[in-house]
Amino acid sequence: MRRSITALLPLLLAGATGCGTVGAAQEAVDPTTVRVLVRDINIRTAGVDCAGTGPYQHFHNRAPFRVLDPDGAALASGQLPAGTAVAAFAEDLGVERLPTYCEFAVGVRVPQRASYRLEVDGRPALDLTPDSSEGPALVAVVPS
């Protein structure tokens, strides 16, 4: 009898700790990219690592972020990667260093919601706009 109780104990504990609920459906999540374009108009070479400057210093490599739903619930979180300098103008200015924006892109998996917001380093959340021009993405431009 003692041996059968010992064998059943791990199963009973697993059920009590919520390892799974019978009949509960997992909410489907979709992979997408969160892209943030920080319009700091810094002069640098396109393609180099960058971080936000001035009032956007909280945008940097390893800055904590959260993707929020319309009610403020966190759907995804992590740390930003290093930003990448992208040209601020489409025309070729004929110089190596040019006005750039700092773009951050990070992959996340989020469930379908009517809208999303992005919080970086505890600052006020930014609205994210769906954009499929380069694959599924949620995009913010700072300042908007």
pLDDT tens digit sequence for 59-109: 999 999 999 999 999 999 999 999 999 999 888 878 888 999 999 999 999
Tell me the β-bridge partners of 35: 105, 139
End-to-end CA distance of the chain: 69
Percentage with pLDDT > 70 across the chain: 82
Q: 130 — phi, psi (to 5°)?
A: -65, 140
**Cβ–Cβ < 8 Å for 90, 101:** no
| 43 neighbors 50 (Cβ within 8 angstroms) | no
pTM metric for this prediction: 0.77
Q: What pLDDT, on the 0 to 100 scale, is given for residue 132?
A: 93
Residue 37's pLDDT is: 96
Please count the residues of the chain: 144
Name the token pair of 8: 């059943």
